Structure 1
Amino acid sequence: MSSNPARPQRPSAVLWDMDGTLVDTESYWMTAETALVREHGGEWTHEQAMQLVGNGLIDSGRILRDAGVDLEPAEIVDVLTDRVRGLLARDGVPFRPGARELLLALRGAGIPTALVTMSLRRMAEDIVALIDFPAFELIVAGDDVARPKPFPDAYLHAASQLEIEPSRALALEDSPTGLRSALSAGTVAVGIPHIVPLDGCGAHELWATLKGRGVDDVVAAFDRHRTTGTDGSDR
């Protein structure tokens, strides 16, 4: 009599990028960037804005300063953050398709979730506060770590705070920079392309959208790509 097939391994946590993955705020950032550069006498093209997708905010501030904004990078970050926060307060949380539903399903299944973003903490907390259910055990924001994505620091910090090995987490990301961060931390990384393509970025899997994705999809993806030891045991 044959034994039952092994039950798929669930991730110990699902780690969510915010801008472009959980919520569609990239257009807000681009609007704020364009207005700020123009206020300082410069021009800001769509191609330039695309270069900032997934970047750490201070790095983006440096690029905007080079484009003519006569402020220090940290000041630029503060101005942009406050302007985007204002748009969110006015218009609400613009969830990416399927994101709210998947997040709620993961919570219902008892799988811990954390937000891992390069936005400032006050921005992340604003967005989480507008979600109509308890969404995350943990927020790791850009001002919580010394080095931004693509360095692994934010994902390593999230795993440490959740008291899990990074290899036991599945990360959801929409940018090449974010995927590099998640992969270098050792997570199973799923890419959901939004504004920029993710082909060739090393994601374990690419999903065209989160719409229609559920807990079973997350568990199956993690089980397919999780790291195991040479004896087959989980690391």
Structure 2
Amino acid sequence: MTLTDTAWPKAVLWDMDGTLVDTEPYWMAAETPLVERFGGTWTHEDALRLVGNSLEGSARILQEAGVDMPAQDIVEHLTDEVLRQMAEEGVPFRPGAQELLRELRAAGVRTAIVTMSRHRMAEKIAGLIPFDAFDAILGGDDVARPKPFPDPYLAGAAALGVDIADCVALEDSPTGLTAAVDSGAAAIGVPHFVPLSNPGAADMWPTLEGRGASDLAHVWRAHRAGAGEAR
């Protein structure tokens, strides 16, 4: 596969939870006993409210549900619990994610994780991939403003030394997709636990399975052409 500056994006920015890996059930399993420890109740619908949120934002919601702990203690507790579950049960990668990553790497496209989870968790997950999958890792503790602000994606592009307009972003949550769209990247929504709808998205894919680097390039070229027409 031959890359040219005009035909291919320079980088692909990956959300992690729900896009790269199916860790959302681990987060939900960590939240329920924490709320119950303080005498509250936590439903599946409650848990869905946290999908795509910053951990600090999720901590505030958990405090409203009765968890009497400082926000940062909640964040670190949940992170530790998810890491424990990962160690015991493994990390389920989303269908097609590793295959697409491998093809992007073979094609010379730069990649980064852009997640609201802690940097230490993202590093752990990246280390479980059996090849050098990412050039940069951006966690929620690496940026001042979380998704849905565009800052995480802008920081991801900066870490790779590329213009955000030359990037594709992959997202599974409404807040994450908003961040990706507003950053100026060609944003592709890949819904998982919650439905997605964003008119600014470059495309919506039901899954990454069967998708290759050329599919991403096609979306990016169409998005760039549309942006040029809008100007």
- The correspondence for 1:101, drawn from 78, 87, 99, is 99
**Code of the aligned partner of 1:63:** I
Alpha-carbon separation, structure 2, partners of 1:201 and 1:43:
35
Alpha-carbon separation, structure 2, partners of 1:229 and 1:48:
37
What's the counterpart of residue 121 of structure 1? 119
Alpha-carbon separation, structure 2, partners of 1:43 and 1:227:
49
Residues 57 and 142 of structure 1 are in contact (CA less than 8 Å); yes or no, is this contact kept in structure 2? yes
What's the counterpart of residue 53 of structure 2? 55
Secondary structure class of the residue paired with 1:36:
helix
Deviation at 1:7? Answer: 9.8
Q: 1:175/1:230 Cα in 2 relative to 1: closer, same or farther (>3 Å)?
A: closer
Q: 1:86/1:230 Cα in 2 relative to 1: closer, same or farther (>3 Å)?
A: closer
Q: Which structure has the greater CA radius of gyration?
A: 1
Q: 1:173/1:230 Cα in 2 relative to 1: closer, same or farther (>3 Å)?
A: closer
**Is 1:85 the counterpart of 2:83 in the alignment?**
yes
CA-to-aligned-CA distance 1:35-67 (integer Å, 9 cap, x gap): 111111110011111110000000000000110
Residues 113 and 137 of structure 1 are in contact (CA less than 8 Å); yes or no, is this contact kept in structure 2? yes
Alpha-carbon separation, structure 1, partners of 2:34 and 2:228:
54
Where in structure 1 are there 5+ consecutive unaligned residues? Answer: 1-5
Residues 92 and 130 of structure 1 are in contact (CA less than 8 Å); yes or no, is this contact kept in structure 2? no
What's the counterpart of residue 182 of structure 1? 180
**Is 1:40 the counterpart of 2:64 in the alignment?**
no
5 Å-filtered alignment, 1:144-223, equals: 144-200=142-198, 202-223=200-221
Where in structure 2 are there 5+ consecutive unaligned residues? Answer: none
Secondary structure class of the residue paired with 2:13:
strand
Residues 167 and 227 of structure 1 are in contact (CA less than 8 Å); yes or no, is this contact kept in structure 2? no
**Is 1:65 the counterpart of 2:47 in the alignment?**
no
**Code of the aligned partner of 1:83:** E
Deviation at 1:160? Answer: 1.2
Bigger mean CA deviation after superposition, 122-131 or 197-206: 197-206
Secondary structure class of the residue paired with 1:195:
coil
Secondary structure class of the residue paired with 1:10:
coil
Residues 177 and 198 of structure 2 are in contact (CA less than 8 Å); yes or no, is this contact kept in structure 1? no
- The correspondence for 1:17, drawn from 10, 15, 18, is 15
Alpha-carbon separation, structure 1, partners of 2:229 and 2:77:
53
CA-to-aligned-CA distance 1:59-85 (integer Å, 9 cap, x gap): 000000110111011110000000000
Alpha-carbon separation, structure 1, partners of 2:226 and 2:195:
29
Number of residues of Structure 1 aligned to a counterpart in Structure 2: 228
Residues 88 and 127 of structure 1 are in contact (CA less than 8 Å); yes or no, is this contact kept in structure 2? no
Q: List structure 1 runs of 4+ shifted beyond 6 angstroms.
A: none
**Code of the aligned partner of 2:126:** V
Residues 17 and 24 of structure 2 are in contact (CA less than 8 Å); yes or no, is this contact kept in structure 1? yes
**Code of the aligned partner of 2:210:** G
CA-to-aligned-CA distance 1:173-226 (integer Å, 9 cap, x gap): 001100111111110000001011112453210001000001110111111111
Identity %: 56
Tell me the TM-score normalised to structure 2 length.
0.94
Alpha-carbon separation, structure 2, partners of 1:42 and 1:132:
41
Residues 167 and 185 of structure 2 are in contact (CA less than 8 Å); yes or no, is this contact kept in structure 1? yes
Residues 8 and 219 of structure 1 are in contact (CA less than 8 Å); yes or no, is this contact kept in structure 2? no
